[in-house]
Structure 1
Amino acid sequence: MEILAFGVQADERPLIERAFAGLHDIHCVHVFLTEDTAPMAAGYEAISTSVNANLSGRVLQTLAVGGTSMIAQRSTGFNNIDLDVAERLGISIARVSYYSPYSVAEFAWTLAMAVNRRIVRASARTRDFDFRLDGLMGRDLRGRTVGVLGTGKIGEAFTRIAHGFGMRLLGWDVAENPACAALGMTYVDKDELLAAADLVSLHVPLLPATHHLIGAAELRAMKDDAILVNSSRGGLIDTDALVTELRRGRFSGVGLDVYEAEAGLFFLDKSLEAIQDDTLARLVTFPHVLVTSHQAYYTEDAVGQIVAATVQNVDDYVAGRRTENFLVSPAGPAS
């Protein structure tokens, strides 16, 4: 079967092509799936998409008209997909339900440590042979309190690292993780966690119930010198409210690997263009804010697992098998 893979990064391409070799014909393009690029999929029964693909009802309709009946998304999140429309059109949707939680957890800690110890500012200075320490003072994390919102696989991996630092562990989730509790984590309500934590890290999925989980009230509830890290989904934070608090001089550091309006920006080179997003433009001007481009998952280990799962999803579709990865059941291949 011929498959068109959208939004393939240069580092991903050899991994994808090797994984599909001898099984299916895979054609990789770097452009992302949008309303404008959806016609490219005409004639492809199956396509593969990245996390920032636009899989709205209009796009799905275009894909269906072009003959696409299976979409294998190379991510865990699926808030970008209109599943009701996909089911109505008979398009099977599969995602990757699991990949290395350590990739994201370790990167979340990379962000936390970078803003805590002012690494970006220090690096910029030393490139100019400015070796002053003014403004570079951080804090020991040992003995301080970390608040983990979401204690699933990634949250657990993040918590284990926090435990290694010797931090007091607070957690919030719809259900307690026994592994986190065994490390000494105390589960509290969200307000108590935000008020007590020196470092807050988000590890929950983006759902209607978690959209703007950290809004104006939650940001005001946090300590003035707290560190906030988000390596999950941008929509968890009300970015305009965050900018308002930052302008008031609050927070010791903020590390964001995701942004709620990142589609059409992240994974692309916009360096020669005028950025029209005033909120993002303001956000990156704060010296204690570090924004990266949704790269927390981007390790050889995690991407290799994502690609392997994508191949398996296509094989399962061809065989008419339903697995936990399928959000909309496979109807079986047309040929």
Structure 2
Amino acid sequence: MKNTHITIKPKVAFFSTQTYDKTFFEKYNLDFEYQLDFFESQLNEQTVTLINNVDVVCVFVNDIVNAEVIKQLAEQNVKIIALRCAGFNNVDLEEAKKHHIKVCRVPAYSPEAVAEHAMAMILTLNRKTHKAYNRVREQNFSLNGLLGFDLHGKTVGVIGTGNIGKAFAKIVNGFGCKVLAFDLVPDEELEKIGVTYVSLETIFKESDVISLHCPLNEKTKYLINKETISMMKNNVMLINTSRGALIDTSDVIHALKKGKIGYLGIDVYEQEEKLFFKDHSEDIIEDDKIQRLMSFPNVLVTAHQAFFTNEALTQIALVTFNNIESLLTQNDIDNKAALLA
């Protein structure tokens, strides 16, 4: 009788799964043939028990991958924590190293997707197209209250010129803005097209529009606070498509009430893990801060959708699977920016 050898493919467990995650990952898994488990639940100390005989856990921005979760993953012999996003502030990397669990991410999927969303928020807040849309649908063709300003010639401050910040700086440069930037490492390509690197203080003092594109860490947490806001121009526009905790929400609310901040656009929120990616239309939201923000007519909130394009989701799926494949077969990744631990 001829012997047959059955190869059992590695199992990947996805947490914080939405319908579109399943669609894209199942589509591109045809080339990898992994066993896929999808959980709608956020990964945390309670839900980690859902996994069984899993080689890889795949997590998103609001999953909690702290020391206790990693300890439990190690006890279940999980080999890899794969982030399907660029940010990794929610993962205890030292604990992962301690338990010999590899951690990888998607350092760049579609920088243009996030940069273009930041630009969309600027244009929407300025020209009030969201309000105009609703007015016209109700047969109200008045222009009162819809006054905007020319973006051309205004000073835009870009904090962080990595892949996304760089893409955003190019966009606003194309609008004819004066672009100021801050980053620990200036980008020569941006400098050649006229972007000027300055101090954070200069950006706060001189910018008409400030857009945040830096990572969240100990140095950048609450970068936007009472002190830094006080340096800004009156009626400044502030945009955040990076991480919610870059902004001290209480201080921003105070500045909105006083008229210091004239426009606020946020696609991220420091307590978003309790709200975003879920339908709360029938719920009473107990978060007073987000409710207060949404009560302002000059505030635009979107629910972490800046990344949400076909191109970005395709790249996220492909890069995540390639990262997993490389780590399982070679214990390494060619793109060192993708390997965290």
TM-score normalised by L of structure 1: 0.94
Give the whole-Å Cα distance in 1 for the aligned partners of 2:233 and 2:118.
Answer: 19
Do residues 8 (structure 1) and 10 (structure 2) align? no
Partner residue, 2:29: 20
Q: CA deviation at 1:22?
A: 4.8
Give the whole-Å Cα distance in 2 for the aligned partners of 1:87 and 1:273.
Answer: 40
Q: CA deviation at 1:90?
A: 2.1
Task: Give the RMSD, CA atoms, in angstroms.
Answer: 1.3
Amino acid in structure 1 at the alignment position of 2:285? I
Matches within 5 A, 1:1-335: 1-23=10-32, 24-323=34-333, 324=336, 325-328=338-341
Amino acid in structure 2 at the alignment position of 1:21? L
3-state SS of 2:94 partner: helix
Which consecutive unaligned segments of at least 5 residues does structure 1 have?
329-335
Contact 1:39 1:66 in 2 (8 A): no
Give the whole-Å Cα distance in 2 for the aligned partners of 1:129 and 1:33.
Answer: 47
Give CA deviations for 1:55-74 in whole Å, capped at 9, x if unaligned: 01122222222332211110
Q: CA deviation at 1:131?
A: 2.2
Give the whole-Å Cα distance in 2 for the aligned partners of 1:14 and 1:89.
Answer: 32
Give the whole-Å Cα distance in 1 for the aligned partners of 2:267 and 2:105.
Answer: 21
Partner residue, 2:6: none
Give CA deviations for 1:204-230 in whole Å, capped at 9, x if unaligned: 111111111111111121111211101
3-state SS of 2:274 partner: coil
Q: CA deviation at 1:99?
A: 1.3
Give CA deviations for 1:18-39 in whole Å, capped at 9, x if unaligned: 2112521112232221222211
Q: CA deviation at 1:76?
A: 0.6
Q: CA deviation at 1:268?
A: 1.2
How many aligned residue pairs are there? 328
Q: CA deviation at 1:49?
A: 0.9
Task: Report which stretch shifted further, 57-66 or 80-89.
Answer: 57-66
Contact 2:223 2:246 in 1 (8 A): yes
Q: CA deviation at 1:100?
A: 1.4
Amino acid in structure 2 at the alignment position of 1:18? K
Contact 2:13 2:51 in 1 (8 A): yes
Contact 1:72 1:93 in 2 (8 A): yes
Which consecutive unaligned segments of at least 5 residues does structure 2 have?
1-9
Amino acid in structure 2 at the alignment position of 1:2? K
Q: CA deviation at 1:195?
A: 1.2
3-state SS of 2:74 partner: helix
TM-score normalised by L of structure 2: 0.93
Contact 1:121 1:287 in 2 (8 A): no
Give the whole-Å Cα distance in 2 for the aligned partners of 1:170 and 1:326.
Answer: 31
Give the whole-Å Cα distance in 2 for the aligned partners of 1:66 and 1:270.
Answer: 34
Give CA deviations for 1:102-159 in whole Å, capped at 9, x if unaligned: 0111010011111111122222323332222111111011111111111122111111
Partner residue, 1:333: none
